[in-house]
Structure formats: structure tokens, C-alpha cells
Structure 1
Amino acid sequence: MSIQVDQLWIPDTLESDDAADFLAAVEVARRVRLATWGTDDLAYTPVEKLFELRDPYERQVLLAARLDGRIVGVADVSLPLMGDVDVAEFTLDILPEAQGHGVGRALVQAAEHFARSEGRRHLFVDTDHPAATLGDDQGSLLPDSGPGFVPLASRSVDFARRGGYTLERIEQFSSCALPLDSVLEGSLLAEADAANAGRYRLHHWRDRCPDEWLADMAALDSSAEDLTLAEAAQSGVPAAEWEDYDAEALRRAEDIAVAQGRRAVVTAVEHVESGSLVGVTTISVLPQRQDVVFQDETHVRLAHRGNKLGLLLKISNMQQLRDLFPDVRVIYTWNALENRYLLTVNQQLGFRTAGVTGLWQKQLPDLSQPNLT
């Protein structure tokens, strides 16, 4: 069997004569997620992937592995264009029937070579582990920081370790069926309201932040001092960008999301006495599937924690989601295992652990420096 890896051409439209390879690559990713999780809810549709590849803040390249001429594996290489510009993030998808033939090795070598050619030395890759694989007795691997583990028996864990990657941390992947039970919803909302005792007021919007709250929202998003290490890591915003995030950057991010067809359902909480926003939560709705949504970051300022504002924000935003998008059947989220409060809130709301994601890293040597050994 012969393996060939090349960079995919990204078509202008899905109807283009040159779109066949792109469509095949998207189908590979869908089939891999279906095999891993038992559902393709986490897979991009071709239209969604085409939109994502046009993100002006992140360059994305698709490398395709062909086995005897057929696309059987894809490496999605993401290169941030702001902040940590020495970083490259890989997503590797290999069809189950193509594993064991060297496809993964060829793909990761090509992805690392491409990253190095772009001046990227700090590499990240994820491995996914459904809940059913976490209870065996074949051993576990602990991350360098934080709680959790991945199963040593996992093929992807073995692959990452043999490739020189180190397990950095673990995130819990959870899902919740919607709509919520009305009795549960009412009792949790009453619990949250009782804890804040009228000192806070909720505000809701879709897609774009109202002008009156723009400065407050930018301040919330740039308040690195209010984040724990786990929250900062989970936010996805490089540390170098926190101080540069302002109202203009927020508007640009909103414009990009709208252009990509994504919708945002947002609930923020105002501290009545100060008149300032002190917490926010967002749910993202993809353009072509309004039955599957994703819980984005939930953040409450340190000085206002302990008032069940996280619970209040999330359950209120779920109510808004139900009113705006009544066809939603499931919401997915990832959480750092250190964030015990939000994990507890999620459990109250009915989230169930679907599995974990291992976050791995590798540092390439700096070939520009002389070897003094």
C-alpha cells in the first residue's frame, strides 16, 4: 500500500469542480467522530468547515493522506495569527479501517514539517476518550498538571507518546439533553435567585452586544486577573492577547461569527449597586444545525463568586435558548477538571460525562540556534 500526503485545495464553493477532495476530507472527519462518540453531532458540515477556514485570526491548512489514491486521513493544522504565533494546533482524523498502515505517522510528520516551515515550534494535539473507555483496568496516564487521566490502552495515547508528545492536561466533555425538565428548572432558578437576594440583574441578547454594555463586556473578556489558571487555559485566548482585547476586538469577533452564520445566545449579569456587568455566559448555535449547540465560556468576576451567579447565568441562558431555538435537543461543553464549581453546576442542570479530551504538547527544537553539544 502506498501513502501520499498533500495539502488540500480549498474550493471557493462546494459546487466547484475542484471541491471533491475537500468534501471527502470533511466526510473522513465526520466518520471518525461518529466512530468515536457514536454520533456525528461534533462534526462540521462542509458549509460550516468552509466558513471556519476563512477565519481571519487563524490560518488553517488541511493535509490529506491518501492510501492507494483514496483520502483516508486528514490533519487540520491551525496557526494563530495573533498572540502566540509560535503555536500550531493539530487535529488528526484517520478512518478506522485505515489505521495500522502508517497513515497517522505520515500525517503527523507532514503536519510537523509544515508547522516548522511556518516558524511554529510549540505543537498541540488532542486525543478523545469516550466514557466507556475510562473504566478499564489496563492502566492510566496522568497529565503534567491538574486531575484526570487517559487510558494507557488507547491507541491514540500510544501514538501521541511514541510521537514525543506530553500529556499536559485533561478536559471533561459533557452533554445535556434539552429542554430541561420544567420542575428542575424552576427549583434551580429559585435557588439561584435566593442566593443573590436581588443584588443582581440579568440582561439577554443575541449575536451582538448592545452598545451600552460593550465596554463592560470587553473588560470582562480581558480581565485575566479574574481567571484561575484552568479558566485561562480553557478560554482559548492566548495570554499575550488579554490586554489587547477591547471593544473593537469584540465587535470584530462578532462580525466574523455573523459572517460565518453562527448565532450566539448571551446572558450577562449586572451588579445593581455598581451598574457594571460582572458575569456572562454564551451558547453558540451553528449555521446549519439548530438542534445541536455548544456551551461557550462562563465567567464571573472573582469578587462576585459565591452567589450562585454561574447557576443563574446558565439556567437563564438555557431558557433564552429554548425560546429562540425550540428545536435544540442537546448541548455540549468542555470543562477543565479543576473548575469544580462549573462542573457541579453542570451536574445540577443534568449534564452527563460523555468522556474526556487529552491535551498534548510537543516542543520542536530551534534549528536556528547552534548545537553546542
Structure 2
Amino acid sequence: MANDVRIEQLWIPDSLDGADAADFITAVEVGRRVRMQTWGSDDLAYAPQEKLLEMADPYERQVILVARVDGDIVGTVDIALPLADNLDLAEFALDILPEFQGRGVGRRLLEAAEHFARGEGRHTILIDTNHSRASLGDSGVGQLIPGTGLGFVPMNSREVEFARRSGYTLQHIEQFSACTLPLDSKLVEELETEAQEANAGRYRLHHWTDQCPDQWLEAVVKLENSAGEDGVPGADDTDMVFDGGILREAEDVAIAQGRRTVVTAVEEIATGELVGLTTISVLALRPDVVFQDDTVVLRKHRGNKLGLLIKVANMERLAEQFPGARVLYTWNAPENRYLLKVNQQLGFTTAGVTGLWQKELPDFGPSTS
């Protein structure tokens, strides 16, 4: 079967209106069908317009390779090449139509993507595998444990077997959780009371949407940068150092891509310092499906239930501004007990896990897949 596969780079159209957009729309549909297969819904799938907007991200170059069989697109691999940091890294997202899985298409696409990445000077490759909650429940299946952290992926998974056979090593697990919106008003009242009692009126909340007020810009920069140094649960594991310009650029990119950003921050009244922050993203074309981004609380202010305080408040803000939102998704490291406990109180349930895999490519010679 694999010999009949033709791999080519996908043309990215300027808009979806022209005749040259047909292949792009078909390629995006491949991703939607794969997510339907994995999760039972297309909540995590891109709409074509959304994907087109994302292709213009100034922080990473994005390329899509497609696999054709008899002229039809049956598989895709999205290649993301970071441009601001991690310049040795390439991230792949591989999707094969269900009826073409197990027929050599994925292997050919992955080899082509690795060849492309090496040609761009990238040697560290990351891919992920996704596993629904139902696929994790069979205690009879073997469990593959990651190199760091907690959690597992099922050994008998087709995706796991493929990743291992292709030379990738499981590095980390992220727990994928979902929360039905809006929150029950009685639950909100109880959680707000619990959080307020714990912090004893020593903090006040601030809210904004899309753009941080000028008065808090430097405070948010300081919070984001100190979060990484402090090992704060929920903070990005990244080498990027933030400044006001970078944050403003990131806001502009989100707005250009049609994303809305709902933010709640918490200030320690005595010092005027911002000590915590949480963010929810709303996509332009799917306002019913929203995503929890970073939640950061500085270590020295733990134990005051600030994580709970800001997340409840931000979810209430979200409900006011985007009443059509019906589900909130989030990813957390399984060892991040602090945020997982808060999420459990809010009503999040585990929807599955994502396995993060890594491979180091050699400088020269054929692909080691």
C-alpha cells in the first residue's frame, strides 16, 4: 500500500473562496475526522478558516505535508517550526483517515516530515498521541510510563506502537479534562465563599479581556517570568523571557487570529503586587468550545486558595461575556496536584490523556524511522 502513496507539500491559499482552497479544506477535514474517531466529537478540530488564520502565526513557521492515494488526500502532517526560541525543535501533528490507518501512510508521512525538519536544521522532534478515557480503563492492557512525571499510555494502542516503532520515546503525559458550562450557581457561591474565607480579604481581583491594561503590563511580565523560576504549577515550561513588547505582540497575534482572551488576576492589597493570573481562550469560530490556558499562583501565596478564587471568578466572567460557551477544556501534568484539585472542585472530569514523544534526528544520513 505504501508504494502507492504520494507525499507533497500543501498549498496554503490566501482565502477559502478561491478554487485553490479545495485541497486545504480537504486537509483540515482529515484532522476533524481523526478527532471524531479519538474523542467522539470534533470539539478539538480546526475549522478551515481558523486553521488558515493560524498559518500566519509570526512565532512559528507552519508547513503541512499531505499524503495522496489515487489523487485523494488521506493523511496530513502539520509541521511547526518555532521562530522565537527552541530553534532546534520541530513539532509534528500526524493525522491519517481512519480507513487508511495501518496501511503505511503514516510511516511515509512521518519519514517525509523528518526529512523536511532536518533540512530546516531541526533535530529534536516532538509528536503526541491522544487516548480517550475509555481506552485507559482496561486494567489488563500494559501501561507505558513516561520518562518524567506521572501517568501512562496504553501499550496496545496503535498510536503508541507506531511512535515506538518510529524511534520516539515517551517523555511526558498530560491529563486532558473537560468541564460543562456554565457552572452551577450554587457551586459557584460555595466555592467563592470557601476561597474568600481562606484569603481573609487580603487580596482583590482584576479582570480584563484581550488586552492587559497598561497599569498592569509590567506586573504581568514580572509574574510570568517569576512563575518559571518558582516552579509554579500551571506555568509554561519554556525558556522564553517575557517583556512588555512580547506580551503586546502575543495579544495582537491572538486578536488577528480572532481569539478572545478572558483574564482574571489577583493582587495582594498590602503590597499592590499581582500574585496570580488565569486565562481562558475563546476561538473565533467555535465560541461554544473554550480552553483554559495558564494558571499561575506564586509559591509564597499558596495555601490561600487563590487558584480556586481566580478560576471561579474567570469562569463567571466567561459566562457573562460568552454565554454560548458550553464546555471548557484543559491539559495538566498529572503530578500537578495543586491545579488538579482545584479543577476537580470546579467539576472537571478526565476526558483522556495526551502522550508527548521525542526523537533526536542525526545530522546526516537517512531517516532512522
SS at structure 2 position matched to 1:104: helix
Residue in structure 1 matching 2:203, options 182, 200, 204: 200
Deviation of the 1:33 alpha carbon: 0.3
Identity in percent: 63
Q: Structure 1: 5+ residue runs without aligned partners?
A: 369-373
The alpha carbon displacement at 1:231 in A equals 4.2
- Following the alignment from structure 2 to structure 1, what is the Cα–Cα distance between the partners of residues 70 and 107? 16
1:1-373 equivalence runs, <5 A: 1=1, 2-136=4-138, 137-223=140-226, 224-228=228-232, 231=234, 235=236, 238-239=238-239, 241-242=240-241, 245-367=242-364
| Residue type of the alignment partner of 2:108 | A
Query: Is residue 118–residue 363 contact of structure 2 (8 Å, CA) maintained in 1?
Result: no
Q: What is the CA distance between 1:121 and its match in structure 2?
A: 0.2
Give the conservation status (yes or no) of the 8 Å contact 2:234–2:295. Answer: no
Aligned partners of 1:308, 1:82: CA distance in 2, in Å? 35
- What SS does the aligned partner of 1:203 have? strand
Equivalents in 1 of 2:234, 2:342: separation in Å? Answer: 15
Partner deviation per Cα, 1:156-179 (whole Å, 9 max, x = no partner): 000000000000010000000001
TM-score between the two structures when normalised by the length of structure 2: 0.96
Equivalent AA in structure 1 for residue 92 of structure 2: F
Structure 1 Cα separation of the partners of residues 234 and 75 of structure 2: 32
- Give the TM-score taking structure 1 as reference length: 0.95
What SS does structure 1 have at the residue aligned with 2:350? strand
> CA 1:295 to 1:231, structure 2 compared with 1: closer, same or farther past 3 Å?
closer
Cα offset, 1:227, TM superposition = 2.2
Distance in 2 between residues matched to 1:126 and 1:27, nearest whole Å: 19
The residue identity in structure 1 corresponding to 2:217 is L
Instruction: For 2:181, give the aligned amino acid.
Output: L
Q: What secondary structure is seen at the aligned counterpart in 1 of 2:20? A: coil
**Matching residue of 1:371:** none
Letter of the aligned partner of 2:128 in structure 1? D
Structure 2 letter corresponding to 1:227 = G
The alignment of Structure 1 onto Structure 2 pairs a total of residues equal to 361
In the alignment, the residues of structure 2 paired with residue 308 and residue 285 of structure 1 have an alpha-carbon distance, to the nearest angstrom, of 25
Residues 106-134 of structure 1: CA deviation (Å, up to 9, x unaligned): 01001100000000000000000000011
Aligned equivalents of 1:246, 1:227: Cα separation in 2:
19
Q: Which amino acid aligns with 1:177?
A: T
Q: 1:70 & 1:101 partners in 2: Cα distance?
A: 15
What is the RMSD of the two structures over their aligned residues, measured on CA atoms? 1.1
**In 1, Cα distance between equivalents of 2:245 and 2:186:** 42
Post-superposition Cα deviations, 1:39-90, rounded to whole Å, max 9, x if no partner, equal 0000010111001110001000000011121101100000000111000000
Q: Deviations over 1:199-257 (max 9, x none)?
A: 100000000000000000111112221224x645xx26x31x22xx1011100000111
d(CA) in 1 for partners of 2:33, 2:189: 39
- The alpha carbon displacement at 1:367 in A equals 3.2
Q: Which amino acid aligns with 1:212?
A: Q
The one-letter code matched in structure 1 to 2:169 is T
3-state SS of 1:19 partner: helix
